[in-house]
Structures are given as structure tokens and as C-alpha cells.
Amino acid sequence: MCGRYGISVSRDELEIYLKETYQIELLDSNITLPRYNIAPGQSVISLINDGTRYRVGLLKWGFVPEWADDEKIGYKLINARRETLSEKPTFKKSFQTRRCVIIADGFFEWYRTTSTKTPYYFYLKDHRIFGFAGLWSTFSKPDGTKISTCTIITTKANAMMRDIHDRMPVILTEDTAKRWLDPTLRDIALLDELLGENAMDDIELHQVSSRVNKTENDDSDIIKPYED
């Protein structure tokens, strides 16, 4: 699974990345950076394509289907399994028509034994910004207020990741991310192929402090190598 991640760059660095990669000129004033310890239920920086251009904004992490009775279901749907996206009614519509890319530059996973949980930080070898493959949806509350939410897609762990966890997030290359965001692409088989083009082979990792376990800890020390 993927239950915690970060984006450690400044607003200026993200603006340059978005302009060069997606031709996005303006960044929402509500977006604050850096963020080292992003957790479910929080707002996350996400990309969509509206059919004319790429757009960046904030989505709430925790997928709430438009037909849900209670938005609290989102806390159970922070991840979506690649293998069942086209089968589950929860995700099927969004898989075809509401795909997003969630901006990050690292994520956390815990190696668990019967008595311990050891956190590790994963990042691309060149420390560049990347995108998780995601889905989004808009839910209307009883009072008419609308919230837009998202989930991060996961797949089976590769050889490097498998010793720590059996699942990993789908990290898209920039070219694959643009194809993933193409709203005209609705072929299930082709979409699944894109999810197989995972950039996780370029990932490195190191152990970090257990301070990451508390979401209120959100500083650069979170991602530094742990020294016992």
C-alpha cells in the first residue's frame, strides 16, 4: 500500500517543473510547500487534464465514490489495487474517465515484524519530482457541498520492494503520466498497460526515524537517513 508520502520541493521548484512538463503557468495560492509527511485525509497536489489543458489543484486523499452514503468511506479507500480497477464498481467509472496524477518526490513504507515497525523512505535516484497514478471523484454532501477526492493506485511489489512490503504505488514516467491523463483514452487494456510501465526500477531507499509515525511531525528531518 501507500499510506504516507511527501513532496520536499519549494513552490518555485514545483512551478518550474509544472511549466516545463505540463505547460501550467499558475499554481493555486492554497498550495503550500514543502510537505514532508502527507497523510490520508489531507489535501494533495494533483494533476488532471480537462480535455483542453492540464490543470493542477488540491484533492482530498481518500476516495469517496459519488454514490457513497458517508464520506468517511474515504479513509478506507486511500489506495486502489491495479488488478481490480476495471471490476470494482467503486473505481470502474473513474478508471475510464477520472484519472489523475498525484505529485510527490518520495514515499514511506514500514517493514513490520511481530514486535516492530521500521520506516523506510523511497525516492528516485536523481531525487526528481514524480507522479503517482491516481483516480478521482466528486462527492456531494447532504448540504450540497461538493468535495473532490482521490486514491493512489498500487500494484504488486517488485524485487527491491518485496522485502519490505508486498504492494507498491504505481509511479509514472512523465510520458506515461501524460498518456494516463488523456481523457480520450478509455481502453481498459491500454490503461492497464500504462500502469505496468512503473518507474519503480529507479527507486532508492533508506531507513528513517520513527518520527514519521506522527503526522504532526512535518520537517526535513523526517526524510534524513536514520542514525542509531
Residues known to be catalytic: 2, 109
Q: What is the full DSSP assignment across 114-129?
A: SS-EEEEEEEETT---
CA gap 40, 210 in Å, rounded: 18
33 exposed, middle or buried (CB, 10 Å; 0-12, 13-18, 19+)? Answer: middle
DSSP state for residue 198 in the 8-state scheme: B
- Which residues is 171 bridged to in the sheet? 132
118 grid coordinates: 521500521
3-state helix, strand, coil in the chain (%, to 5): 30, 35, 40
Q: What contacts 111, CB < 8 A, 6 or more positions away? A: 117, 118, 120, 163, 164, 165
